[in-house]
């Protein structure tokens, strides 16, 4: 049963008012999934690419990444799944990508009170985030190569945001963080793992 607008056992006037309230409630914003399938895959001389997430979101204040439409850790996991590709079938090499961190902390900022504060919108929160991933290649001969990339992002927001506006900012925050992550991780892989890249 859909309980969002269920009316039962009420007088007609109350029911009409309740239905009107349901009609005026905007549906929750739907955000697109962040994917990287449109970019060329990074083909590695490995037989298999394994992707893991070792980061566990705290899920409590002051951390808020678990509430993001797309948490940074999930976006990074999807990045590795989309972009890293096994290019051989008998090399004996294995690639492993592990999300190490994806936290975002909400910091309350001091705002000016009183009449002066009421007349202007101030920056009320700052979001400090960190995203980290390690990519490793293990060879059949027992060798290994490792690349690790960490990106950080800080952004302030103004007071009085609606839930929808804040979630939009969170989505764009993850998107911007992933643009930097994508560039830096690809650069590091191409620089440090050149011998394992397939043209």
Domain co-membership, 38 together with 25: no
Domain co-membership, 6 together with 99: no
Domain co-membership, 17 together with 103: no
The reported pLDDT for the residue numbered 22 is 47
Domain co-membership, 90 together with 130: yes
The reported pLDDT for the residue numbered 27 is 67
Q: Is the pTM of this model over 0.75?
A: yes
What is the pLDDT averaged over residues 133-159? 97
Domain co-membership, 23 together with 77: no
- Please give the residue range of the domain that contains residue 19: 1-30
Q: How many domains does the chain have?
A: 2
Provide the b/e sequence for 53-76 (b: ≥16 CB within 10 Å): bebebeeeeeebbbebbbbbbbbb
Q: Are 105 and 59 in contact (CB under 8 A)?
A: no
- Domain CATH number, residue 142: 3.30.160
Domain co-membership, 55 together with 75: yes
Domain co-membership, 102 together with 123: yes
């Amino acid at each position: 049963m859909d309980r969002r607008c269920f009316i039962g056992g009420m007088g007609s006037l109350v029911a009409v008012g309740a239905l009107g309230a349901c009609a005026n409630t905007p549906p929750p914003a739907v955000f697109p999934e962040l994917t990287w399938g449109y970019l060329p895959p990074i083909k590695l001389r490995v037989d298999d690419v394994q992707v893991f997430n070792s980061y566990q979101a705290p899920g409590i204040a002051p951390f808020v990444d678990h509430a993001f439409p797309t948490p940074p850790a999930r976006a990074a996991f999807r990045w590795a799944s989309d972009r890293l590709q096994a290019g051989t079938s008998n090399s004996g090499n294995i690639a492993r990508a592990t999300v190490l961190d994806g936290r975002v902390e909400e910091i309350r900022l001091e705002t000016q009170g009183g009449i002066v504060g009421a007349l202007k919108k101030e920056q009320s929160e700052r979001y400090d985030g960190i995203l980290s991933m390690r990519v490793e290649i293990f060879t059949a001969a027992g060798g290994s190569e490792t690349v690790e990339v960490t990106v950080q992002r800080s952004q302030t927001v103004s007071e009085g945001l609606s839930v929808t506006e804040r979630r939009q900012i969170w989505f764009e925050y993850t998107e911007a963080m992933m643009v930097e992550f994508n560039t830096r991780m690809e650069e590091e892989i191409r620089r440090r793992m050149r011998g394992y890249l397939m043209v």
